Amino acid sequence: MAKKKKVEKKEIVYAPISYQPITETIEKNYMPYVMSVIVSRAIPEIDGLKPSHRKLLYTMYKMGLLTGPRTKSANIVGQTMKLHPHGDASIYETMVRLTRGNATLLHPLVDSKGSFGKQYSSDMKYAAPRYTECKLDTICQELFSGIDHDAVDMVDNYDATLKEPVLLPTTFPNILVMPNMGIAVGMASNICSFNLAEICDGTIALLRNPKLPVEKMMEIVKAPDFSGGASILYDREEMYRIYTTGQGSVRMRARYTYDKAANCIDILQIPYSTTIELILAKLAALYKEGKIKEITDFRDEIDLNGFKLTLDIRKGVDPDKLMTKLFKLTPLEDSFKCNFNVLIDSTPRTLGLIDILKEWIRFRLTCLCRELAYDLKKKEDKLHLLMAFGSILLDIDKAIRIIRHTEKEENVVPNLMKGFDIDEIQANYIADIKLRNLNHEYLLNRMSEIKDLQQQIEDIKSILADELKQKALIIKQLTEIKKKYGKPRMTQIIDSEGVQVYNEDEHVENYNARFVLTREGYFKKITFQSLRGNDEQKCKDGDEILSIMDGENVDNLIFLTEKAQMYRFKADDFDTCKASALGEYLPVKFDKAGDEKPVLMNIQNSYPEKENFIFIFENGKGVRIPASAYEITGNRRKLTSVFSKSSPIVAAFYEKTPMDIMLTSTDNRAIVIKSSLIPIKSTRTSGGVQLMSLKAGQKLVSATNDPEKIPDSGKGLKKIKIPAAGVNLG
């Protein structure tokens, strides 16, 4: 039997435990990672790009994809890994966001072919890179302008085999045109996009006036602009905060239309910060909870025509009121949190819009000067060579003779240098000229080129010596960019003060009510039960009843004021009161100044085409405007310029059927006409036609359609033609 080998047991020796202070661990191990994420990954620089964007775009530029045909995305991804060795998946995801097909950017940087998903959907996936094709979009010409003329620094890639730019010398403030979001360690960046044309105008204004006030900039660059459209609820104070500090919030709402025939709401644009999946999930949850009983069905109808989310609603449901509720309960209203954190000279800084533009101008001036200096050096070098022609032009035969009588080739250049008193570079240039070019015409053309070069050199030197000329050149470039690439705004701007806000605790009770308006602007909403005890209307001294109407608590009320404004309210917006009370003073409800008095009240739940508004003016003119011209949709509460301001208004009426109207002038003359005599005009601000002939210095003082106030006598007040002369009331 074989003997078993004796196994020796080895004693395990443990290394001594070493202790390291947590502060030292953070400083040596964690801080380098933190700085790498901040500086080299998550925060965009002044050219508007992160390193991943820049490496991808520069790779495509070197592949000739700025002017050449599209190539497979897989090819681009593979080439980009020479500069960005972080895996093909992350590179392709970066490229997807920059494509025209994904619709993330207002001005896409990549011209794409194939399926790239959509920004407004998290479930709509992009195709694999082997199926899609891409090239650089034409706007990238502005990103790479001057990059081959030493406009920016070039550094080694990760293995020192290639060169790549530190920044791209973009000729417009791409940092504010391209939306960017990045989460670093201990800080983040979230930059919204602005309209290119507005940004170009704002930059030009800042170049001309470095002390441009923020208020003036807000008039030029009105608000952010997003590729998804939708609407911004404009809050001036919040926008001022964003423009000055770089931090704030932009409230956005979806845009929709109501299809009356199908009784459905079509949502066509949603806030940039949400997706259709989030909206559908919230709608489903609310439907299960029974909180949106007004909706019978909802579905995603996205097709080749673009985004569409359809809501089928129950008969009799007010679509605008329902949308106000959905804005409150779903992501159909959402906020974009602004945090303008930008790397400036490798240092993260949170800047307002004007400060970012100032930093971009400083960066652009540096790029421009470097580009001009490069061009100057090239032109001076070329001029230096051409100056040799000035020497040989006087004696071409001497140059030929020197070359012919030189025995060794290496002595040709030294002999030319001695013969014409030129340096080695010039002598080499002359020695390399072909014999066929030593003709009179060729030499004269070169001499003419010398003059052009000298002028160009002087022009470049004058620009380099004068910052104002440099700024003028940047202004010229920005003007051309705006003309070439500028587009209308995608995102609508709505005044947030005029938007109705849904209150889920509000339960509107419907009941019959009487609405009373006085000439001084006092309004009463009185229940019929209250009227049983006392229906005598109390008014302030000197005041009188202008209008009395019976309606319901859910009715829409409109008020037209003497300042040509129209305000819309729900009857439920007013508290009930007794007939003995003065009522609510409307001018304060219209505006804070409280100096707008109403001239007309009406229950306006619809705007029929066959019904009209009638306006009578002091100059004796009058006009009828179709009610349909005043239709207010959505949550708007105010309509401006509802009638002509060329003459003060005397009275306004709402015409459902023809009525008698009596006009009275300052000289106690009057006429009575049928409202059907007054022509209908489609333009709201039409001045109308002359109804009553007035003598010099006379004007209308009143107009009424109250049968009790119109005399029923044979004085000839009633007229069948206009204009008509007034009859003395005696």
Please list the ranges in the chain whose pLDDT falls under 50.
1, 504-505, 507
Q: What architecture (CATH level 2) is domain 49-169?
A: Alpha-Beta Complex (3.90)
Q: Both tokens of residue 45? A: 């620089």
Give the whole-angstrom CA distance, residue 86 versus residue 80: 10
Q: Which CATH number fits domain 366-485: 1.10.268.10, 1.10.260.40, 3.30.70.360, 3.40.50.300?
A: 1.10.268.10
Residue 670 has, within 13 A of its CA and on its CB side, a CA count of: 21
Give the whole-angstrom CA distance, residue 557 versus residue 551: 10
Q: What torsion do the CA atoms of 429, 434, 440, 444 make, to the nearest 10 degrees?
A: -40
Q: Is 230 left (phi over 0), alpha (psi -120 to 50) or beta?
A: left
Give the whole-angstrom CA distance, residue 670 versus residue 716: 10
700 Cβ neighbours under 8 A, 6+ residues apart: 616, 617, 618, 619, 620, 650, 663, 664, 665, 666, 692, 694
Q: In what order do the strands lie in the sheet with 522-527?
A: 545-552, 512-518, 522-527, 584-585
Task: Single out the catalytic residue among 30, 33, 131, 158.
Answer: 131
The DSSP bridge pattern shows strands 727-728 and 180-183 to be unpaired
Give the whole-angstrom CA distance, residue 120 versus residue 255: 14
Residue 632: the pLDDT is 79
Give the whole-angstrom CA distance, residue 170 versus residue 151: 10
Cα 709 → chain centroid: 55
Residue 507: the pLDDT is 41
Please give the backbone phi and psi of residue 161, each rounded to the nearest 5 degrees, phi first.
-100, -20
Q: Which of 464, 457, 486, 446 is nearest to 177 (CA)?
A: 486
Instruction: Give yes or no for a contact between 59 and 79, defined as CB atoms under 8 angstroms apart.
Output: yes
Listed in sequence order, the DSSP H helices in 164-254 are 174-177, 196-208, 214-220, 236-245
Q: How many CB atoms lie within 10 A of CB 436?
A: 7
Instruction: Give yes or no for a contact between 129 and 77, defined as CB atoms under 8 angstroms apart.
Output: yes
Question: Looking at this protein, which amino acid is placed at residue 482?
Answer: K
Instruction: Give yes or no for a contact between 246 and 239, defined as CB atoms under 8 angstroms apart.
Output: no
Residue 35: the pLDDT is 83
CATH topology of domain 509-728: Neuraminidase (2.120.10)
Give the whole-angstrom CA distance, residue 266 versus residue 253: 14
Give the whole-angstrom CA distance, residue 390 versus residue 426: 11
**Per-domain boundaries in the chain:** 49-169, 255-331, 366-485, 509-728
Q: Which of 339, 172, 362, 359 is nearest to 247 (CA)?
A: 339
Q: Is 255-331 CATH 3.30.230.10?
A: no
625 Cβ neighbours under 8 A, 6+ residues apart: 612, 613, 615, 643, 680, 681, 682, 683, 684, 686
Give the whole-angstrom CA distance, residue 467 versus residue 372: 13
564 Cβ neighbours under 8 A, 6+ residues apart: 640, 641, 642, 643, 644, 645, 649
Q: Which of 591, 593, 598 is nearest to 523 (CA)?
A: 598
Please give the backbone phi and psi of residue 266, each rounded to the nearest 5 degrees, phi first.
-105, 115
Give the whole-angstrom CA distance, residue 209 versus residue 215: 13
Cα dist from 200 to 98, 176, 229, 490, whole Å: 21, 10, 20, 17
Question: Looking at this protein, which amino acid is placed at residue 613?
Answer: F
Q: How many CB atoms lie within 10 A of CB 400?
A: 13
Residue 593: the pLDDT is 67
Please give the backbone phi and psi of residue 305, each rounded to the nearest 5 degrees, phi first.
-80, -10
Q: Which of 61, 73, 65, 63 is nearest to 101 (CA)?
A: 73
Cα dist from 360 to 158, 239, 343, whole Å: 28, 21, 11
Give the pTM. 0.67
Per-residue pLDDT reduced to its tens digit, 710-729: 887 657 888 889 898 888 88
Q: Is 131 an active-site residue? A: yes
Q: Which of 343, 351, 340, 357 is nearest to 45 (CA)?
A: 343
Place of tokens 């003082």: 701
Q: Both tokens of residue 688? A: 């109308």
Give the whole-angstrom CA distance, residue 572 versus residue 569: 8
Question: Mind giving me the DSSP string for 67-87?
Answer: TS--EEHHHHHHHHTTT--S-
Give the whole-angstrom CA distance, residue 205 versus residue 207: 5
Please report which helix (H) or strand (E) contains residue 495, including its range: strand 492-495
Question: Mind giving me the DSSP string for 26-45?
Answer: IIIIIHHHHHHHIIIIIS-B
Give the whole-angstrom CA distance, residue 356 versus residue 344: 9
Question: Mind giving me the DSSP string for 537-602?
Answer: PP--TT--EEEEEEEETT-EEEEEETTSEEEEEEGGGS-B--TTS--EEHHHHH-TT----EEEEE
Give the whole-angstrom CA distance, residue 436 versus residue 446: 14
Q: Which of 75, 77, 83, 96 is nearest to 54 (CA)?
A: 83
